Structures are given as C-alpha cells and as structure tokens.
Amino acid sequence: MRDQLAILASQWNQSLKSLFESDPNRGARYVAEGAGLRLDFSKHWIDQTVLNALVTMLDECDFDTVRQQLFGGKRINFTENRSVFHPALRAKSTDEFLIDGVSVVTDVLTARGHAYAFAEDVRAGTCQGASSKTFTDVVNIGIGGSDLGPLMVSEALKPWIDGPKPHYVSNVDGAHLHDVLGELEPETTLFLIASKTFTTQETMHNAAKAQQWIADALGADAIPHHFAALSTNEEAVQAFGIAPERMFGFWDWVGGRYSVWSTIGLSLMISLGPDVFDRLLSGAREMDHHFKEAPPEANIPVLMALLGVWYRNGFGLETLAVLPYEQRLHRFSAYLQQMEMESNGKRVDRDGEPVSYDTCPVIWGEPGTNGQHAFFQLLHQGTLICPVDFIMSANPVNTDLESHQLLNANCLAQSESLAFGKGFEEVYRDMVDQGFAESEAKRLAPHRTFPGNRPSSTIMIEQLTPESLGALIAAYEHKVFTQGVIWNVNSYDQWGVELGKAQCNALRPSFISGDATAFSTSTQEILRWLLKNTH
C-alpha cells in the first residue's frame, strides 16, 4: 500500500486553491467532530480518491483487529511482553478492562483512590511537614514521561490550581534543581520522586540532592515527612526513607509517556484536586469512545494518523509542526515530541526486519503568536514543506475576549496564508497600486511572493478545560497507535533510550580516573580538556 501512496502522490497535481475553487462545500465536507474536539482537515492535499485510498490502508494492515487488541489488554508491546493499557487508567467502575481475562479496573480505582486520599490530605493540611506546617509547594522529580506529562498539564490548567504550587525538576544539570529550590522553603515543600524502578539515573541523582536539602535544613528525621514515591520498587523506596503508605504504584502495562493518567499525575491531583483530575480523565475517556466507535472518515485520531502517513510516505515530508494558539499549551509540542518520536521513531518492523519506508517525522512547535515572529518565515517561504497542526479555542480562560479574538484571527490568517499564499501578479499589482515604479515592483515582487499550498489541520475546542485537554491528549495518543499499526512497528518500547544510558554509566568513572581508553579518541580528547579546565 505504501507503494500505492507513492504512486498517488506522484500523480497529485492539485493545489489547495484549485481544490477549494472546484468544491464550494469543501470547508464543511472535510470536518470531523468528537469528544468536544473539531478537526478541520480541508486544507490538506486530499480529495475523495486519496481519502478512500488512505482508509483502505487500514483494512490492509488489519487495523480493527489490532485496535481491539489494544483495548482488550493483549500484549501488543511484544518486545517486553506487555499489554498497552493506558486507556484503562481512565476507567470508571462500570468499565471493563481485562488482561488475560482478569479485570484491572479494581486495581486502577484502588490506586487512584489511594492517591486521591493523599492529595486531599495534603490539600487540607492534614498531611504536614516535619515542623507541622502545611505544604505550600510540591516538587515532582522525574524525567521523560514522569515529567513532561504532569508539567504540560499543570501549565495548561494553571487557572484551576488551588492547592500547593507544583514544580518540576527533570534535568540532571544541577542548575535545574538549584533554581527550583531557590524559591522554596524546606518546611513547606513536599517532594514526589517519580521513577517506576526507582533507579532512573537523573531522577535518583536529583532525589538524593533534595533529600540532603531537607536533611540539612530540618534533620534526617524529617525526610519521611517530606517525600513520597511514584514507583513499583518497594524495597528501594523504603531504603530511601519513604514509608510504604507514601508509595503510589502503577503497572508494567503503563508506558512512561502515557502515564500522566496514573499516579504519575499525583502532583496534579494535589495542585488541581481530585475533582479536576477526574474531569481530565473524563475528557480522555470520551476520546477513547470516539476512537473506538467513529468510522474512519469521521474519526479524529485516525484521520490525523492517515494524513501524517500520506505526507511521510507519499511525499517524503520529514517534519510536523504543532502550533497551539493557546499560551497555556506552551509545553504541549514538547510533550508530543516524546509521545510520537519515542513511540514511532523505529527502523525495524514487528518482525525485526529493517523497514523500507519512512516512519515518524520530527515533531516540533511553539505557541502562536510567538512563532510567527520566529520560524513562520520558513513555513511560508522556505524550501521545506512542513504540515501544521493548528490548535485553537473559541473562548478564553481568565483572559479578555478582545485578546483572544486577536489570537484566533492570527491563527486563521496563518492557516489561510499557508494554504493560498499570494502570487507574483497579485503582489506586483499591489506594489504598483502603492506607488512603486513598475521596474522596482518587478524586482521586489519575488521576495514578497508566497507560494501557498502548504497543508494544515485546525483542531478546535470550545475552551481549554480539563475535559478538552484530556480529549486532546488522548487524540494524539490514538493517532500514534494508528500510525504504528500502519508502519508495522512496536510503538510501545524505547530501546533507543538505553544505549546512551549504558555508555554514560561506563564513562562516568573516567571522570575520576582520567582513563577513557575504552572510548574513541574524540571522547578521550574531550575528557582531557574537561578535566584540565574543571575548577
């Protein structure tokens, strides 16, 4: 089928301008709605023939069966022999999620209830620090999925924060922890150590420094009062000084980049409260239903996935820009970078054979309107063609309507300009009308010409709320799953992360011994320079 896509792409000779001119109803025809989201995909290089071919691809890769396996708890992460069951983390008591015929719902609800109870105790001041003072700040120490998800959600839902202020530390660079702790008081700070194995190098390094910070200020006896663990390694957690009742577990079928719905979201439960967190889960659950039930032509995650495959494998386009016109979504693109590139950045298929086609594109982006004054020049007039996901909302949260309408006007103007551009003749005529000499207008017009025909989606929500954010995150989760099925890769392992970790562990003693002869001459020379110039 991928060969057929390439053929279809090679035959594609229509512009977005001609597509809209030939179909007055195109703007209403290529729209999908579900779970509070609205996807306008009319500004894409598709017609009904292309859309039909993309949908046919789903049948050829047995998509429906694999989707049933996802929601049925099958071990689709076959390299680690694990189910991929993050939708179960959104479960209500009436839902059914089974692994090997055994329900996981009770376990999920019990773990959620344990976390909610702790969160309520912290929020109410029942759970206090060693000095009997109420916690005002909670610091989540994690990395990757144990950091990006909670951080992104806390920024997106900042207007709903009414509990202890959340902070996030991930980088092993000591400046990160130093700068966060510089704003806080030990007596009123609670630390959450987020590591499934409780061995993650960066996380445990920062955790030990936070432990020392508390011990220096309040004494070693204070440590149990100021720490909780998001982990499954009870022995290591207790050795660190955290009591079992302050350990909040999850399961091996929860991938890190899909774990914000689990106890990894404890910082959110504390800062936002369980009721708001429930609303986040509710929005994601609605998107789960939409993804399972809507036909492909009206299924938001499926359409997003198919369009991505069309550009990646049909046209060889290498990037996707995600541009939220919502300042509070300023970490959303970074969150998606891990979700998509760690999931589908694979070069071998499910049989372990090298793929003969491209897989995941590079995901990048920043909020509008800031990006308009940075990289939009490349999007409009550069040689790189980059599809765009614009994200916008109808109503502001805690801001004025005038500013929000100006924001949305910019978003619509950018998608319109990318799609239709402004040709040489129109630019030339405008310049002459403005008083330019014809020779000068002809000389300058090429620099002011916009080729257009740059594809984009517009994802709309009524307002950035816990429900709409949950649905938005889940939509991208299911997009990643769908593309992984089409590309025939395992989207749920991440062995590419491991080699660098192993090399770091092997190299670390060289900073003490000065001997790096087991490594390349480049690394040896760099180490010599570092040791010579370390003060």
Reduced to 3 states (helix: H, G, I; strand: E, B; else coil), residue 283 is: helix
Provide the whole-model pTM. 0.97
pLDDT value for 3 = 78
Cα torsion angle, 481, 486, 492, 497, sign = negative
The predicted structure's pLDDT at residue 6: 87
- Whether the CA torsion 388, 462, 163, 228 is positive or negative: it is negative
**Region 86-278: CATH code:** 3.40.50.10490
Reference 502, options 489, 527, 526, 519; nearest CA is: 519
Angle between the N-to-C axes of helices 466-487 and 48-60, in degrees from 0 to 180, rounded to the nearest 10 = 70
Contact assessment for residue 252 and residue 140, using Cβ atoms and an 8 Å cutoff: no
Annotated catalytic residue: which of 155, 326, 340, 342? 342
Residue where the block lists tokens 């179909």: 23
**Catalytic residue selected from 293, 462, 501, 525:** 501
The reply to whether 478 belongs to the active site is no
155 an active-site residue?
A: no
| The one-letter amino acid at 531 | L
Burial 171-209 (b: 16+ CB within 10 A, else e): ebeeebbeebbeebebbbbbbbbbbbebebebbbebbeb
- Is 183 one of the annotated active-site residues of the chain? no
So where are the chain's domains? 86-278, 496-533
The predicted structure's pLDDT at residue 1 = 64
**Nearest CA among 147, 13, 37 for reference residue 460:** 37
Tell me the mean pLDDT per 10 residues along the chain, length 535: 84 97 97 98 97 96 97 96 97 96 97 98 97 98 97 98 98 98 97 95 96 98 98 95 95 95 98 98 98 98 98 97 98 98 97 96 97 97 98 97 98 98 97 97 97 98 98 98 98 92 93 95 96 94
- Of 373, 447, 532, 535, the catalytic one is 373
Q: pLDDT at position 498, please?
A: 87
Check if the beta carbon of residue 459 is closer than 8 Å to that of residue 389. Answer: yes
Measured from the Cβ of residue 85, the count of other Cβ atoms closer than 10 Å reads: 26
